[in-house]
Amino acid sequence: MIPAPFEYSSPKTLSDAFTLLETSGPDSKILAGGQSLIPVMKLRLGQPSRLIDINNIQELSYLREADGYLRIGALTRMVDLESSDLIKKKYPIISDTASHIADPTVRNMGTAGGNVSHADPANDLPGTMVALGAEFVAASSKGTRVIKAKDFFVDTFTTDLKHEEILTEIRVPMYAPGTGGAYLKLEKRVGDFAIAGVGVQISLDNDGTCTRAGIGLTAVGPSVIEAVEAEKALVGKKLTEEATRAAASLASDASTPTSDLRGPADYKKEMIKVLTSRALKRAHQRAVGGSA
Amino acid sequence: MEEVLRGLASKMHVEITVNEQKKEADVEPRLLLVHFLRENLSLTGTHIGCDTSNCGACTVLVNGKAVKSCTMFTVQASGKEVMTVEGLAKGGKLHPIQEGFWEKHGLQCGYCTPGMMMAGVALLQKNSNPTEEEIRRGISGNLCRCTGYVKIVEAIQYAAEKLREAQQQKVEVPAR
Ligand SMILES: Cc1cc2nc3c(=O)[nH]c(=O)nc-3n(C[C@H](O)[C@H](O)[C@H](O)COP(=O)(O)OP(=O)(O)OC[C@H]3O[C@@H](n4cnc5c(N)ncnc54)[C@H](O)[C@@H]3O)c2cc1C
Ligand code: FES
Ligand code: FES
């Protein structure tokens, strides 16, 4: 299949990209890894008039800890998130997620920024970023602003980003020791989108009481869902079997799946319960075991 | 009409090194890399098996990384090095991965084979001694409708061994 014609530019700096975005029409689009956008264009579900390819903007590609945050440049590839020792050791929820997105060939191209900006409810990284309480840095020629996860994901394929803005960084707070996270995804076959997915990140104090819980749900609503009631129910408690089960039920209540080729709605709701419970157990093990 | 004009107005010049040969062309930005390889360069070893970026039959190496050439525009490859299945054999001698598919019967209809071999080469560049599980993960972006994968895994294991032997011989030479 052949996409509709478009103009193409590949700026080398962010400021050139801003100028291009401002001077081209509202139907121009940013091209990152292209692993969502190009399939959309081949199916002619999208026909942008211009693509602004950000792959040559070196300053968007980095992964480092600084000033209390893990900072992920928007152009960081999935393969780099998956294989980074820093991520594996301190943010295993992110390596869990990256290693279950699509397949290794797609992950060579697909970027962190693209996965969240596409805002497909079945994208996996949004659930994880919600669990982590991540923030999103949007930049334009007018400056930068920081968007909280709960404001960033607006609706299906819709984020809070304005047309002239580029997502430059995803930043994740560096939690104190005693934190742990996990992402679990149920899929029909390797490389497929999730039937349902759950990301969990918890922090415990010295006697094992939960001080913070973040829970994000994938593919069970029009957009990623934060299971707020489940999070609240955990704070101030120890992660006993009973507390875990109660939180898993509340997470399931927060989900609003629809029936489709990947399964009936009530099955997905049930799976959210199972996955949340398992993810909480793994997150707990990681929190007490020293590695996040 | 406007669509047609827009397409015509915007041909772009690309220079791409394909299988170590420099190629130049003026192409529409919408031309997918797989179509450039197959139609402009007649390198029909790279296959198209789906329209949904799922099957991996179109896998090539771009600057050494495996990518699905049906999910990349030709203009994105400008200034880069592309390797296709045609670039594997050197001086009439098969690449170890090709030998592996031959010896271990790693194909039936052969449709997925070029993509499988390129994914295999990329995997072995990163990991010269992969376990069976690592091989299966490594080729999980490539679908085969015929073999059931067992023989493909064996073919990649065969190539891994050959490549390691060749590497060892290289290391031993200066010691002599
Ligand atoms: C076979 C296959 C299987 C897949 N399976 C999964 C899966 O299981 N889970 C999953 O999560 N994803 C999956 N994907 C999607 C894949 O992970 C994409 O790579 C990812 O969703 C988008 O990242 P990208 O860099 O390729 O973005 P692109 O396709 O380049 O862009 C996607 C959208 O985001 C916008 N955008 C990109 N970067 C920015 C930026 N920095 N600022 C503002 N806007 C931006 C673009 O304009 C576009 O609208 C799959 C894709 C394929 C082809
Ligand atoms: S042709 Fe199927 S992935 Fe490219
Ligand atoms: S040999 Fe026929 S598809 Fe793999």
Domain end (from A173, A189, A206): A173
The low-confidence residues of chain A, meaning pLDDT below 70, are: 290-292
In this structure, the number of other CB atoms found within 10 A of the CB of residue A227 comes to 28
Assess if residue B63 is contained within a domain.
yes
Whether residue B58 lies within 8 A of chain A, CB to CB, comes out as: no
Domain boundary among A173, A190, A221: A173
pLDDT of A290: 59
| Chain-centre distance for alpha carbon A113 | 9
| B37, B107: one domain | no
pLDDT at B3: 47
Q: Pick from A252, A251, A254: which is nearest to A269 by CA? A: A252
- Same domain, yes or no, for A85 and A161? yes
Cβ contact A157:A117 at 8 Å: no
| Whether residues A185 and A169 fall in one domain | no
A30 domain residue, yes or no = no
Q: Into how many domains does chain B fold?
A: 2
**Mutate which of B10, B28, B76, B80 to disrupt the A interface (most A C-beta within 10 Å)?**
B76
Nearest CA in chain B to A190: B140
- Domain end call among A173, A198, A218: A173
B64, B87, B110 - which closes a domain: B87
Query: Tell me, what's the pLDDT at B9?
Result: 52
B102 and B66 fall within a common domain: no
| Position A98 in a domain | yes
Contacts of residue B144, defined as CB under 8 A and 6 or more positions apart, other chains included, come to B112, B116, B152
In terms of domains, do B66 and B21 share one? yes
- Rounded Cα gap, residues A245 and A276, in angstroms: 9
Which is nearest to A165 in space by CA: A42, A36, A281, A30?
Answer: A30
- pLDDT tops 80 at residue B7: no
Q: Strand locations in chain B, DSSP E?
A: 12-18, 21-27, 59-62, 65-68, 81-83
Count of domains for chain A: 2
CATH of the domain at B77: 3.10.20.30
**pLDDT level of residue B159 (50, 70, 90 thresholds):** very high
Please give the Cα distance from A177 to A268 (Å, whole number): 33
Residue-number span of the structural domain to which B104 is assigned: 96-171
Out of B32, B59, B87, a domain closes at: B87
Percent of chain B past pLDDT 70, that is, above it, reads 93
Q: Examine the domain organization and report whether B134 and B167 are in the same domain.
A: yes
SS3 of A106-153:
HHHHCEHHHHHHHCCCCCCHHHHHHHHCCEEEEEECCEEEEEEHHHHE
Q: What is the pLDDT of residues B13-66, one digit of tens each?
A: 999 999 999 999 999 999 999 999 999 999 999 999 998 999 999 999 999 999
Is B156:B135 a contact under the CB 8 Å cutoff?
A: yes
- Does residue A31 belong to any structural domain of this protein? no
Residues in chain B closer than 8 A to A38 (CB atoms)? 32, 53, 71-73
B53 and B76 co-located in one domain = yes
For residues B78 and B144, membership in a common domain is answered with no
Q: What is the CATH number of the domain that holds A116?
A: 3.30.465.10
Domain extent at residue A268: 179-287
Confidence tier at B110 by pLDDT (50, 70, 90): very high
CB-CB neighbours of A155 under 10 Å: 11
Residue B114 lies in a domain: yes
Same domain, B122 and B164: yes
- Nearest CA among B108, B100, B120, B135 for reference residue B56: B120
pLDDT of residue B174: 61
Instruction: Give tens-digit pLDDT for A129-175.
Output: 999 999 999 999 999 999 999 899 999 999 999 999 999 999 999 99
How far is Cα A108 from Cα A9, in angstroms, rounded to an integer? 22
Residue type, B97: I
Q: Are residues B102 and B82 in the same domain?
A: no
Q: Is residue B4 part of a domain?
A: no
Which residue numbers of A have CB closer than 8 Å to B's CBs?
A: 1-8, 10, 31, 34-35, 38-39, 41-43, 49, 51, 53, 55, 102-106, 108-109, 190-191
Contact A172, A129 (CB under 8 A): yes
Q: How far apart, in Å, are the Cα atoms of B13 and each of B59, B69, B72, B106?
A: 24, 19, 16, 39
How far is the C-alpha of A196 from the C-alpha of A282, rounded, in Å? 17
Same domain, yes or no: B83 and B39: yes
Q: Give yes or no: residues B111 and B157 share one domain.
A: yes
Residues A275 and A258 in one domain: yes
Q: Give A210 Cα–ligand 1 centroid separation in angstroms.
A: 34
How confident is the prediction for chain B on average, in pLDDT?
93
Q: How far apart are CA B32 and CA B6, in angstroms?
A: 17
Instruction: Check: CB of residue A172 under 8 Å from CB of residue A191.
Output: no
Residue-level pLDDT at A289: 87
Q: Write down the pLDDT at residue A25.
A: 87
Domain match, B118 and B76 both: no
Report the CATH number at residue A266: 3.30.390.50
Residue B169: predicted pLDDT: 86
Please, are residues A185 and A100 in contact by the beta-carbon 8 Å criterion? yes
Using the 3D structure, point to which of B70, B87, B104 is the last residue of a domain. B87
- Same-domain check for residues B160 and B134: yes
Task: Say if residue A147 is in the same domain as residue A198.
Answer: no
Give B168's pLDDT tier (boundaries 50, 70, 90).
confident
Q: Which residue's CA lies nearest to atom 2 of ligand 3?
A: B109
Residue B170: the pLDDT is 81
Tell me which residue of B81, B69, B116, B84 sits closest to B97, measured CA to CA.
B116
Record the pTM.
Answer: 0.95
